[in-house]
Chain A
């Protein structure tokens, strides 16, 4: 079987649709019969990454690659990049604005959640150019 590939564009700064693509992928995985555990991990990690694109990076695009062995999600943005990844990985560290915090974001759990709920998290970032986040959840 060929891998199933999905592509989504993410609008920047539009919180009304933020997380919608994660919902679509979750539904797709459910239809394909993936286990609730795998679906939960993908949904949480992808949601965090998708929200980050909206909050910090003015949107971008997402490519999802689904095979029976693993789900891979790549999120590419053209945002400001992450100056200090080590700091960004710490729970509770956030650079979100007050406006965004009022909506319930900015807990500083985005990257830690991505790490916690994936088997592999790869981040390539360049200041002023953008960030590529790769999330991989293996099917056990």
Chain B
């Protein structure tokens, strides 16, 4: 699955990053240290966290993308940083559970 496909399937919106980034597997969680140790390379990471630190976690774990769920949006500095680091961010109105079901 690519970022573009994920956005289509979940009705999400791509805010930055490469839409053709290939994705596999998924982790859901909002505690950064847990995400740090659990998110695997290419994973879809679903979270409600929206601050700049999610970009560092995604970058360090080689996450495929961050999906910010439940209608939350990334903070402005987080978005800027994600653009710099070429991290794919998708936002969705859906819950983490509903997004995961659709993957």
Q: How many A residues, CB 8 Å from partner?
A: 25
A20 to B52 CA separation, bound complex (whole angstroms):
11
Closest A residue, CB atoms, query B31 = A107
Chain A residues whose CB sits within 8 angstroms of the CB of B32 once the complex forms: 51, 103-105, 107
A60 to B77 CA separation, bound complex (whole angstroms):
24
CB-based A-B contact count at 8 angstroms: 69
Q: Choose one: B31, B37, B47; the contact of A117 (CB below 8 Å).
A: B37
Interface membership of B8, Cβ < 8 A: no
Which residues does A use to contact B, with CB under 8 Å? 15-16, 18-20, 22-23, 26, 36, 40, 43-44, 47-48, 51, 103-105, 107-110, 113, 116-117
B60 engages A36 (CB within 8 Å): no
Given A22-B60, A44-B60, A103-B51, do A16 and B33 touch, yes or no (CB 8 Å)? Answer: no
B37 engages A23 (CB within 8 Å): no
Closest B residue, CB atoms, query A27 = B59
Chain B's interface: helix, strand, loop or mixed, by majority? helix
Closest B residue, CB atoms, query A44 = B36
Q: Choose one: A20, A40, A107; the contact of B33 (CB below 8 Å).
A: A107
